[in-house]
Amino acid sequence: MVMEAITGGLLGGIGVPSKVVPATQVPFKTTLVPTDGDLGAGEPAAMIAILAAVVAGADVLLWTMTVPAQQQIRWGFGSPATPMNQGYMWFGIMLAATGFDQGTVLLSHENYSRHQSVVVDEFNDGLTHTAVSTTLITARDLNKKTLKPLPERLDLPVVGQDSRLVIDYTAIVLVAEDTGGFDIPATVYD
């Protein structure tokens, strides 16, 4: 053991590492918005086009984001133990100045081959916006006491390279949508 420490130290000094130490990924919190999806800037219009083509009760794949190389991501951030430091989400699809769609949002992730899906959260979108549908700005609820929390689920695996974060939507009541958006918390391991 002593000899190994000496030779490891000597060899390490000339460019040969004595031990392989895995790199650690440092997480940071962020919020994902429609333009973070696979379609980029075209994502909000694509979401509205998808919903315009469905009927109430239909399930639709609303949004996807493929995880970039050398990153891992989880929906949500923070912990319920520290409620002021956990993630809170906003979600709304509406016809401006008229009303909101009502439906169920399903957050999940899929593996790279799209054969396995893990559900992270399912919620009624009426809990994630204000009652004022004038514009997307007035629809955003800014009060943490009424927003829906989404802490990081450490009991679920992280989503790795080429896997996808997914938002599915089940429409219950539809309006003639013309705008929509969301801010959903996520933790990125980079």
Here the CATH number for the domain that contains residue 105 is 2.60.120.1170
Is 9 a domain residue? no
Is 95 a domain residue? yes
Interval 113-138 mean pLDDT: 88
**113 phi and psi, to 5 degrees?**
-90, 0
Strands 99-100 and 88-95: antiparallel
Chain segment 57-97, per-residue pLDDT in tens: 888 899 999 999 999 999 999 999 998 889 999 998 888 88
**21 phi and psi, to 5 degrees?**
-110, 120
Task: Quote the DSSP letter at residue 126.
Answer: G
Chain segment 149-171, per-residue pLDDT in tens: 999 999 999 999 999 999 999 98
121: nearest Cα among 66, 182, 67? 182
Is 4 a domain residue? no
Is 8 a domain residue? no
**CB–CB of 156/92 below 8 Å?**
no
**CB–CB of 78/153 below 8 Å?**
no
The torsion angle over the Cα atoms of residues 24, 29, 32 and 36, rounded to 10 degrees, is: -40
Is 126 a domain residue? yes
Is 53 a domain residue? yes
For 74, the domain range is 24-189
Tell me which residue has tokens 């599915």.
168
Strands 117-124 and 179-189: unpaired
**How many domains in the chain?**
1
Q: How distant, in Å, are the alpha carbons of 93, 110, 167 from that of 104?
A: 12, 19, 10
Is 16 a domain residue? no
When mean pLDDT is compared over 9-13, 103-107, 123-127, 175-179, the highest value belongs to 103-107
Is 32 a domain residue? yes
The torsion angle over the Cα atoms of residues 33, 39, 42 and 44, rounded to 10 degrees, is: -40
